[in-house]
Homo-oligomer: A and B are copies of this chain.
Amino acid sequence: MNILKNYINGKFVASKSTQFIDIMNPAKDEVIALKPNSTHEEIDETIAMAQAAFPGWRDTPGITRIHPLIKLHQLLIENLDKITEAVVVNHGKEWAAARGEVIRGYQMVEAALSVPEIQKGQFMSNIGTGIDEYSVLEPLGVVLIIVPFNFPAMIPFWFLPFAVATGNTVIIKSNSQTPLPMQLMTEYIDQAGFPKGVINYLHCNAAKGDYLIKHPLIKAVSSVGSTPIASHIYKTASNAGKRAQCHGGANNFLVVTEQANLDSIMPNMMNSCFGNTGQRCLAGSVIMVVGSQEYYVHFKKKFLEATNALKIGYGMDKENAMGPIVSKKALATLLQQIQDGVDEGAELILDGRDLKIEGYPKGYWLGPCVYEKAKPGMKVYDDEIFGPVVCLDRVDTLPEAIEISNAHPMGNAITIYTENGLEAREFRYNSNAGQIGINIGIVAPIAWFPFAGAKDSFFGSLRAQGPEVIKFYTKEVVVIEKFHGTTEIPWD
């Protein structure tokens, strides 16, 4: 059996822990690895090694620190198919989604190659006679990255390449369902030439995660998870005096006006609602049609046709557009939530609960589920349902659609489908969300732009990806310098 090793200080080391979690292939209900719950001693040792690596890594010129990243980039591209397979096998998602997330992941490395440029400080000559003032963006020390199950190959890279490029050393705490893709990628990290201890991958449970967060040598915490988890990590880190950026859940609205080009947008809408089996924080949850009842009926027909045409099955069969749910437990939760919706009075016009996939009798299957008559106040409408479940709704006007979306406590992404420039602009200007799509239903900023939600979808001041996360991983130290005796500015 494959017992996962920690990657600490440049070596793969077996944990002494005797506690293990089963790591599954969700399409087959098979145990494919065991993840240990590393001991406190092992955690302390990991932190100590990362701390020991910090001064040397900080001393390495920033223009040199990108060299192993370039090497890593090359290794990730060379092993794209292999990593994609690890994602499919461990998470269950369709091949295209798995491949897309790996690509997104190494795009983050590409974006992190701008760090020497962005990490520049500022220099102001002669702020007073003979006085110069400048700043240095210093790395923080050891930083902690806590990753979720749903994008096991991508989300570590929202943070990792930026954190190390700026001169920090990093500990990634694995998640408890899909640690395998990152385990594989750790091998490429190992080959890429980073000094020992700069990047570490650690297996432990959530309680040990809290221990990590609170450890005095951890200087910053980045996390992605559900809103309760995000809130918990944000509080835990902040109460320990740390800076934190914690990405939470979502309940995203897709707004479709009468000026949308339905044929053009439908593939994107399908992907938004059912790609990754709906297990993403950018998935469409409520489809809000703006217009007449006739238009709504017309839309619904096209939507259901497209939904029914989706091929579902094992992700390794590349023609499939949707795979299983990540775990038996997650499937049970979803089935309960779906039944709750029915019990609350929503009408389940497409019921994916009895899905069987030939050849994979034990897989955690759930087909697309579509409600009508769900309304704000019902759990199925308000809660983050992390699966292929969508509510169809209708309002008369665009401002109503925006108002309903803005009233929701979460605000990760929101999308409008329209060809009309005025509608698009009105929607963009008035919506309160971290990401706004115009005819794009999975509003994932590219690596060069920041990524975070609004309202309860994010806790923190600085976001993932791009220039913002570079700022998160540095502090701007200011130097005021003179070499003579008199000055002009107040107090010097």
Q: Mark A residues whose CB is within 8 Å of B.
A: 59, 61-63, 66, 70, 73-74, 97, 99-101, 103-104, 107, 110-111, 113-114, 116-136, 138, 231, 234-235, 238-239, 241, 243-245, 261, 263-265, 267-268, 271, 275, 418-422, 424-425, 428-429, 433-452, 454, 456, 459-463, 466-468, 471-472, 475-485, 487-492
| A451 contact set on B, CB distance < 8 A | 478
- With a 10 A CB-CB cut-off, give which of A70, A128, A275, A475 has the most chain B CB atoms: A475
Which single residue of chain B is at the shortest CB-CB distance from A122? B120
Give A112 to B487 CA distance when docked, in angstroms. Answer: 24
Which single residue of chain B is at the shortest CB-CB distance from A428? B479
Whether the Cβ atoms of B478 and A434 lie closer than 8 Å is: yes
Known: A63-B127, A449-B478. 10 other contacts (CB 8 A): A61-B129, A62-B124, A114-B114, A114-B117, A117-B117, A117-B466, A121-B124, A425-B481, A437-B479, A461-B462
CB distance from A94 to the nearest CB of B (A): 12
Which single residue of chain B is at the shortest CB-CB distance from A422? B483
Whether the Cβ atoms of B444 and A491 lie closer than 8 Å is: yes
Whether the Cβ atoms of A454 and B475 lie closer than 8 Å is: yes
Which single residue of chain B is at the shortest CB-CB distance from A107? B63
- With a 10 A CB-CB cut-off, give which of A66, A111, A421, A422 has the most chain B CB atoms: A421
Whether the Cβ atoms of B103 and A490 lie closer than 8 Å is: yes
| A245 contact set on B, CB distance < 8 A | 461
A123-B135, A475-B454 are contacts. A484–B422 as well, Cβ < 8 Å?
A: yes
Whether the Cβ atoms of B419 and A63 lie closer than 8 Å is: no
Give A127 to B131 CA distance when docked, in angstroms. Answer: 23
| A489 contact set on B, CB distance < 8 A | 61, 446
CB distance from A439 to the nearest CB of B (A): 5
Give A429 to B439 CA distance when docked, in angstroms. Answer: 18
CB distance from A492 to the nearest CB of B (A): 5
A63-B110, A421-B420, A448-B63 are contacts. A123–B125 as well, Cβ < 8 Å?
A: no
Whether the Cβ atoms of B425 and A424 lie closer than 8 Å is: no
| A421 contact set on B, CB distance < 8 A | 418-421, 424, 438, 481, 483
A117-B114, A420-B420, A434-B478 are contacts. A491–B445 as well, Cβ < 8 Å?
A: no
CB distance from A25 to the nearest CB of B (A): 23
| A263 contact set on B, CB distance < 8 A | 485
CB distance from A408 to the nearest CB of B (A): 15
Contact with A136, one of B62, B101, B104, B123 (Cβ below 8 angstroms) = B123
A121-B123, A238-B238 are contacts. A439–B100 as well, Cβ < 8 Å?
A: no
| A110 contact set on B, CB distance < 8 A | 63, 66, 70, 113, 116
Contact with A444, one of B62, B466, B492 (Cβ below 8 angstroms) = B492
